[in-house]
Amino acid sequence: MDPPTANGDQRMRVLTLGTFDLLHVGHLEMFRECRRWAGPGGRVIVAVNRDEFVERFKGRRPAIPYAQRFAMLEAVRDVDLVVPNVGDEDAIFTIEAIAPDIIAIGNDWQGRDYLGQLNVTQGWLDLVGIRVVYVRRTTGVASSEIRASL
């Protein structure tokens, strides 16, 4: 289901959190979809996972170091602001600081415990008025597939 798109004076804040290692066209498509949802007056914010968190969560460090991933994301046209995911395993700190209307994540997370990975509950999201929306992958490209082919 599509989230509501911004119209009129409504300014949607769309947040996506992730590692964004091996930045690829699938990421760019997701940012473009976030831009569509945010609308011209809205904001697309990307929270980037730090290398230490990625190592704890995935058991390996990212191929591209944090500072370089951060800089590449800042250069993406459809991204308004890049911030660190300061809470690491407890993303609630970042989410509260951004106060988004929507948290967007690729649909490869559907059926997995994405809320648990963020350390938030659906009840808390409902209380603060944030929707989680899964972005449909159109290219089928994933960082894990790129990594496997290397």
Is 6 within a domain? Answer: no
Rounded average pLDDT over 16-42: 92
Residue 39 lies in a domain: yes
Q: Is residue 1 part of a domain?
A: no
Residue 111 counted as domain residue: yes
**pTM of the predicted structure, to 2 decimals:** 0.85
- Domain residue limits at 103: 13-149
pLDDT in tens, 46-104: 999 999 988 888 888 899 999 999 999 999 999 999 999 988 888 999 999 999 999 99
The reply to whether 5 falls in a domain is: no
CATH assignment at residue 23: 3.40.50.620
Higher pLDDT, 10 or 96: 96
Q: How many domains does the chain have?
A: 1
pLDDT at residue number 150: 58
Q: How many CA atoms lie within 13 A of 74 on its CB side?
A: 9
In order of 22, 45, 48, 89, 139, the CA distances from 94 in angstroms are 23, 11, 10, 11, 29
Q: Show Cβ contacts of residue 58 under 8 Å, excluding neighbours closer than 6 positions.
A: 19
Q: Please indicate, yes or no, if residue 132 is contained in any of the structural domains.
A: yes
Assigned domain for 72 exists: yes
User: Could you tell me if residue 2 is inside a domain?
Assistant: no
Give the model's pLDDT for residue 3: 61
pLDDT in tens, 92-150: 999 999 999 999 998 887 888 888 888 899 999 999 999 999 998 766 665 555 555 55
More confident residue, 144 or 14: 14
